[in-house]
Amino acid sequence: MLRRANVKKPRENPSGKGVWIRVFDVSPAGKKRLVALAWRRTPFRTEPDTNDAPDDTDLAFGLPDGSVKWRNKAAFLKAWNIDLDARSLSGAEAKHTPS
């Protein structure tokens, strides 16, 4: 299955938590299933004026049922092999030798 991270402006999920990152498993047929997410520990009192990312310490990282599973953003991203900066696409990790 293809795994895709979806980073968007915060929205409220049914439990009232501002969701910041959603991770989906996508079947070969294109069906998405939410498998993990990051949400604000405390909901917004009012909608923010900007779309700035919250501080990592303001987020909880866990499962769709609301249980927190990862201590921090680094552990969450590593568990799901998420590269938010797309460094893996830059080719910098591959060592090329001149021929």
Is residue 32 pLDDT above 70, yes or no?
Answer: yes
The per-residue pLDDT for range 49-96, each reduced to its tens digit, is 666 778 899 999 999 998 999 999 999 999 999 888 888 787 765 444
* Cβ atoms of residues 61 and 72 within 8 Å: yes
Domain range list for the chain: 2-43+54-85
Q: Which residues are within 8 A (CB) of 56 and not within 5 positions of it... i.e. 6 or more apart? A: 72, 73
